């Protein structure tokens, strides 16, 4: 490990506390949004946000800074090219795709922006009309098979290892062995249900959690009713437990 671990720095926010502002998800297409996270190394650059386009809003998925974008539809209907994406629709949009986007109704959309120019992905969009139609699998984390879980991989960047996932967690889950950390940035949006990494960061539908790389978290992870989570990472994800003696 080439970095020191940091403790208790995860950030959890709920949409009800976030202001409404206008951002530019793509060039020349301002859109109302609630910003979840900004990129640390580029002041003002959005990493993730909830887009709230009204019916009739249009854009072309083109970014001069070279940043690839992803969208996950929470509610409403959006047309991307000739495909219509409703709730649980997903798209990966390279910066040079220029594909047309139109909100057919008022929408709530999770926006994920990669670092400008970091991915060098050619302009072929990935469109998934219904992520729930993807075959789920049972994840194995830290050597433990998590029966009752359903994970769906929505996208993997083969070059960088960055990925986006949909995860269903069963009711009364109680964690995978206590405090842990990841070697990459981890962002999580709670679509439904409840979960907490610890008692000070309770999450419910509309909550967002950011676990910075090498940040120790998961001291008291649990859920009562179960939940559905959208997760994304900026590189190859792994989970490393912290030995009891080091906590």
Residues 211, 7: contact at Cβ < 8 Å? Answer: no
- Where do we find the tokens 């409703």? 86
Query: From the centroid of its chain, how far is CA 218?
Result: 18
Cα separation, 14 vs 190, in Å, equals 10
Q: Do the domains at 6-13+133-246 and 18-130 have one common CATH topology?
A: yes
Which of 67, 65, 61, 85 minimizes the C-alpha distance to 75?
Answer: 85
Q: Given this model, what pLDDT does residue 121 score?
A: 59
Rg value, the chain, Cα: 18
Q: What is the architecture, at CATH level 2, of domain 18-130?
A: Sandwich (2.60)
Query: How confident is the model at residue 93, as a pLDDT?
Result: 95
For residue 242, the 8-state DSSP code is P
Question: 92 and 61 in contact (C-beta within 8 Å)?
Answer: no
215-216 and 6-7 strand pairing: parallel
Q: Where are the beta strands (DSSP E) in 94-246?
A: 99-103, 108-113, 126-128, 140-141, 144-145, 150-156, 163-169, 180-181, 186-195, 203-204, 207-211, 215-216, 227-233, 240-241
Q: Which two tokens stand for residue 137?
A: 């699998």
Q: Which CATH number fits domain 6-13+133-246: 2.60.120.10, 3.90.105.10, 3.40.50.1970, 1.10.8.60?
A: 2.60.120.10
Q: Are 216 and 154 in contact (CB under 8 A)?
A: no
CA–CA gap between residue 138 and residue 21 (Å, rounded)? 38
> Which candidate, 163, 162, 167, places its Cα nearest to that of 137?
167
Q: Write down the domain spans for the chain.
A: 6-13+133-246, 18-130
The beta strand positions in 11-98, using DSSP E, are 11-14, 21-23, 31-38, 46-51, 58-61, 69-75, 78-80, 83-85, 90-93
Q: Quickly count: other Cβ atoms within 10 Å of residue 187's Cβ.
A: 22
What pLDDT does residue 79 have? 98
pLDDT in tens, the chain (247 residues): 568 899 989 999 999 999 999 999 999 999 999 999 998 767 679 999 999 999 999 999 999 998 999 999 999 999 999 999 999 999 999 999 999 999 999 999 999 999 886 555 556 899 999 999 999 999 998 788 989 999 999 999 988 899 999 999 999 998 776 788 999 999 999 999 999 998 899 999 999 999 999 999 988 899 999 999 999 999 999 988 887 655 5
Here the tokens at position 112 are 């994920």
Nearest alpha carbon to residue 224 among 204, 208, 247: 204
């Amino acid at each position: 490990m080439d970095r020191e671990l940091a403790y208790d720095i995860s950030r959890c926010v709920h949409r009800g506390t976030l202001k409404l502002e206008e951002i530019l998800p793509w060039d020349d297409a301002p859109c109302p949004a609630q910003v979840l996270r900004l990129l640390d190394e580029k002041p003002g650059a959005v990493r993730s946000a909830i887009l709230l386009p009204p019916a009739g809003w249009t854009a072309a998925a083109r970014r001069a800074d070279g940043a690839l974008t992803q969208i996950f539809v929470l509610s409403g209907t959006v047309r991307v090219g000739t495909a219509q994406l409703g709730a649980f629709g997903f798209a990966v949009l390279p910066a040079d795709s220029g594909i047309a986007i139109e909100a057919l109704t008022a929408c709530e959309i999770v926006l994920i922006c990669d670092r400008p120019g970091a991915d060098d992905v050619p302009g072929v969009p990935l469109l998934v009309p219904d992520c729930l139609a993807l075959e789920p699998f049972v994840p194995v984390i830290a050597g433990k098979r998590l029966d009752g879980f359903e994970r769906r991989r929505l996208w993997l960047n083969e070059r960088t290892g960055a990925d986006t996932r949909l995860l269903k967690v069963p009711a009364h889950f109680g964690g995978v062995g206590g405090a842990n950390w990841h070697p990459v940035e981890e962002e999580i949006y709670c679509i439904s249900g409840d979960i907490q990494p610890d008692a000070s960061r309770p999450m419910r539908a509309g909550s967002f959690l950011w676990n910075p790389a090498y940040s120790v978290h998961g001291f008291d992870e649990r859920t009562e009713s179960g939940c559905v989570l959208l997760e994304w990472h900026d590189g190859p994800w792994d989970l490393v437990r912290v030995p009891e003696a080091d906590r």
